[in-house]
Structure 1
């Protein structure tokens, strides 16, 4: 899913000039406005004019560095990462030369270059830059400055992307503490910090911790900006996603719709933020099996993104992927396959062959082949995905666990049970280590391993795993969730196999009751 608004506190666009220049500042202000409106072509032309004005003061003037930074930020937004990198690097070099290696604007340049590498999946290059930026800010500005909070947040976000959740939470919490102390508990920056911590808890399946943080963030933003501000839309989107992840679609839908209405009012119907919001609402409908309302939303989202960014942007690839997934779920495989293929080609071209997004796109294509019974085509793709993820994300990342699970399911479908079991077990070990013992993803893997044992008539082993899976789902979602009903069904089937008829009947009564409540 495409995120609605950036989580990162990264004011990388339109930094203050070192030397007043009315023409230069005017051009920068115009460019920033165009950028926020999603008018990237005119924004770029304006930034290039500002760069020409800045260069009148010499090629190493600090204003040149700022214009280069802004131009790089626009290239990054457009997905033109190869164009952005040398501009960020030149901006950094000018600032180090003009201002010294420990100036706050040098820290900002380091942060921006790190963010580019982060987006590209070049995590090993991003981390030391984020850390150096943090060190400069702590030394020059003090440990409790808001810019330090920004650096802590960005480093936390890098670790979150890598699945290093144990490192993430203390950084987010320290960042939030700094912001609350600097601005008070009701400032919009605090709302952003709350949002980021809530997003971590959502990822970890710690939904009860995430919800009050999102709600507090929403309250702050509505009070600070009014009910129709884009930041309010972002929080509504995030809270809706939390509810969607828990299967609480009735609560999620009006929040997604309100978020979309705010963004359309604020930016117009053709802004990329609107496209992302349409995508998120469509994804919820798809999850519910409501394919008819999902399809036009996905198509409108894709049209907006192609118009804003051109046909080869990574966000367009994501949109193509989502539409392909919809067609796959509908059994429209002939329509899905070329969309998956085009998505994969765009991502390989724009991000390189080893980016995590490339791996995800390849995994989606493999899953479709798997669904179609095209096992010979699916297996090498799954193995390639596994190789990319182990290389880029490390062997203990949740995405590695997901790939192991998929490959194991393929082997199970082929009757290769001996090959499937150790993959399921390794997947389970990774998830327990990275997400804790009670995450819903662990319930899924337990269920899959249990089903493997059931297929082999290992009913005692299967029953134990189904029971544990059920307990996790009940804790995460409550006793009346559809996933709980499916888990009860699996356990009841095992009880029938081992002549525990009375217990099976009790479970089946619960299943019926749940499906009456949530058909």
Structure 2
């Protein structure tokens, strides 16, 4: 059973949009700005499928206005890649990120913070695909750029710190991961206080590392805190809440608290279905966890039914 799935953590930096670098206020630009703002609102609400066509249209308008290789096109490319990423469409997201990175490298220089943003996002995509050897240098470069530009304690550095820690966790390198997660949490708490919703990803992933170090009490404390902060910030129907439910359920399953684990896994499945639809790859991970719980209880027919659904989702999405 997968104890925890490393959380997606590209949202804030990826969608901190700078709408135009230097351009007159044309009608198409105004339309693209309005579309982008609406896209951001849908994205932040977890409505990725609804945000997708708006991101596609915003990119098309920018390309028409400025040309395909202009600096103003890099951000819409990045945003579109991020939405595809969050829909589990990694093969579609990768070339969008690469194109955005190439434009920013050329137009802004290799040490710009905008380059660091795309390096973070592409690195996290590789992390999600378990392409750790490719992810690690991109994330280290993203961190180095931001440390040089804004210093080691600026909140903008946290996402890449968390993603690099997730790379280490994915490789079982928990002693390397824990200091990075704790550093990221300390930066966010100092900047925004203890209940910042963006800190919940780090809380959950640090808890995962603690679980693998058998520090269960520390893990449960963090997971319950992450759940409370997430629900307060986003309400009960959000993909991050579904992930938080899964994470706490996985801890309970490992501790033998099977009734509590089953209830939370089922809540996680229902929340994912409501927010991301029935075929998202993250849902397959939760179903695998539930099936593992059923197998441990000797409920093999129930486990087989859940596994069949998980396999069907993976077949449709190409998820590993």
Question: Residue 212 of structure 2 is aligned with which of 351, 371, 393?
Answer: 371
Q: Give the drift of 1:409.
A: 0.7
* Conserved? CA contact 2:14–2:82, under 8 Å: no
Structure 1 position 282 matched with structure 2 position 292: no
Pair 1:6 & 2:16 matched: yes
Distance 1:376 1:424 in 2: 20
Distance apart, 1:272 and its partner CA: 1.1
Output the CA distance in 1 between the equivalents of 2:77 and 2:219. 38
Trace 1:278-317 onto structure 2 (pairs within 5 A): 278-317=119-158
Q: 1:338 to 1:246 in 2, by over 3 A?
A: same
- Following superposition, the deviation at residue 440 of structure 1 comes to 4.1
Give CA deviations for 1:456-499 in whole Å, capped at 9, x if unaligned. 12122223333344444555x2xxx144xxxxxxxxxxxxxxxx
In the TM superposition, residue 434 of structure 1 has moved relative to its aligned partner by: 3.8
* Matched-pair contact (CA < 8 Å) for 2:88–2:280: no
Alignment partner of 1:191 out of 15, 21, 32: 32
CA RMSD of aligned residues (A): 3.1
Q: Which deviations, in whole Å up to 9, do the C-alpha atoms of 1:348-396 show, x marking residues without a partner?
A: 0001001112222211110111233332321221122222223333344
Q: How far off its partner does 1:190 sit?
A: 2.8
For residues 178-204 of structure 1, what are the alpha-carbon distances to aligned partners after superposition, in whole Å with 9 as ceiling and x for unaligned?
xxxx94xxx133334445666647944
Distance verdict in 2 for CA 1:335–1:284, change over 3 Å: same
Alignment-derived partner of residue 259 in structure 1: 100
SS of residue matched to 2:172 = coil
Q: How does 1:223-262 map to 2 (within 5 A)?
A: 223-245=64-86, 249-262=90-103
Match among 231, 242, 260 for residue 401 of structure 1: 242
Compared with structure 1, are the counterparts of its residues 396 and 464 closer, same or farther at alpha carbon in structure 2 (3 Å cutoff)? Answer: same
Greater gyration radius: 1
In structure 1, C-alpha distance between the alignment counterparts of 2:244 and 2:130, rounded to whole Å: 24
Larger RCO: 1 or 2 (CA < 8 Å, sep 6+): 2
Residues 255-286 of structure 1: per-residue CA shift (max 9 Å, x gap): 32221121122222222111101111212222
Q: Determine if the alignment matches structure 1 residue 270 to structure 2 residue 111.
A: yes
Aligned equivalents of 2:131 and 2:286: distance in 1? 26
TM-score normalised by L of structure 2:
0.82
Aligned length: 305
Contact 1:230 1:266 in 2 (8 A): yes
SS in 2 for 1:3: helix
Distance, in Å, in 1 between the alignment partners of 2:29 and 2:16 is 14
**Aligned with 2:13: secondary structure?**
coil
Displacement of 1:347 in angstroms is 0.5
Asked if 1:325 corresponds to 2:129, the answer is no
Gaps of 5+ in 1: 12-35, 38-181, 484-519
Residues 281, 429 of structure 1: CA spacing in aligned structure 2 closer, same or farther, 3 A cutoff?
A: closer
The within-5 A match list for 1:486-501 is none
Aligned pair partner of 1:218 in 44, 49, 59: 59
Does residue 381 (structure 1) correspond to residue 229 (structure 2)? The answer is: no
Q: Offset at 1:453?
A: 1.4
Segments of structure 2 that go 5 or more residues without pairing to the other structure are 1-9
Structure-2 separation of matches of 1:338 and 1:201: 30
The worse-fitting range, judged by mean Cα deviation, of 405-414 and 392-401 is 392-401
TM-score (norm 1): 0.53
